[in-house]
Amino acid sequence: MSFFRKFRKGYNNKPRTDSDAIFSLSSAYITLEIKLGLKSTGRCALSLKSIDGMYFTEMKDDIQRFLNTGKSDVELNSRMVVDSYGYLWMILDGKSMGDILAGISAVGDTIQEKGFSKQLLVAIFEFNNEEKLSNGSTQYLIYNYKSNKFYPFVPFGQKTRNSENEMKIMATIVDEVPFEKDMTLWYPLWDLPF
């Protein structure tokens, strides 16, 4: 009967900040690994709408500098790419989930502190299914900065999605992280620049 209770309870202790929400992944990723065999590839990315202007460039430089100097205590490799929609992607590669969560939330916080929170789109985390590589392999968790919720994205072939795997992800961690339960808002991100 426990699922009834879960259903009623839902996720009601909503985290206050984006960082809180993102850090809720620090336990949820273990659940994903145990229950679905999904392993983090150590890659995550943050995307924001690029604008022209001195302050934006300054903020970019600040983040670049922060990521370069931070290398000593957290092991992260980073690069920046602009995609065809004009979105700037900050791509981080790390060895542990703790490192990439710390990195991505620090980047997000810096952007918000500099007053560009409206430009923030998503943070995206890459996972791989080790056991069933034939079954689509790469799966993503997307954190939407506008709705402050996570949702799954499992691309499958050319611009189609594996809804079954997406629903499995939802079922697995819906109570652990703030999750977007409305599937009509699970907007995909095709042709990721990494």
Partner 1 sequence: MSIPKTPSWQRRDTGLTARMILSFAILTLLYLVFLGALVYVGLDFISITVIASIMILAQWYFSDKIVLWSSGAKKVTREQFPELHDIVERIVARNSLPKPKIAVINTNMPNAFATGKGPRSSVVVVTTGLMDLLDTEELEGVLAHELTHIRNRDVLVLTLASLFSTVAWYLMQFGFYGGMGYGYGGGRDRNNSGGALILVIVVAMLTWVISFLIIRAISRYREFAADRGSAQMTGKPVKLANALMKISGGMRQVPTKDLRQVEGLNAFFIVPALSGSTIGNLFSTHPPVEKRIQKLMEMEASMG
Nearest to 110 by CA among 50, 45, 75, 60: 60
* Given 122, 123, 141, 177, the residue binding partner 1 (CB under 8 A): 122
Exposed, middle or buried, 137 (CB in 10 Å: 0-12/13-18/19+)? Answer: middle
Give the interface segment with partner 1, choosing from 68-76, 105-113, 125-133, 177-185 (CB under 8 A).
177-185
Q: Closest approach of Cβ 73 to partner 1, in Å?
A: 33
Nearer residue to partner 1 within complex by CB, 133 or 185: 185
Distances in Å between the alpha carbon of 187 and those of 63, 143, 150, 151? Answer: 27, 11, 11, 9
- Count of Cβ atoms closer than 10 Å to residue 22 Cβ: 27
Nearer residue to partner 1 within complex by CB, 78 or 144: 144
Could you tell me which residues come within 8 angstroms of residue 71 by beta carbon, excluding any fewer than 6 positions away? Answer: none
* Given 100, 121, 123, 177, the residue binding partner 1 (CB under 8 A): 121
Residues that bind partner 1 (CB under 8 A): 2-3, 6-7, 35, 49, 83, 85, 87, 121-122, 142, 144, 146-147, 159-161, 163-164, 166-168, 170-172, 174-175, 181-190
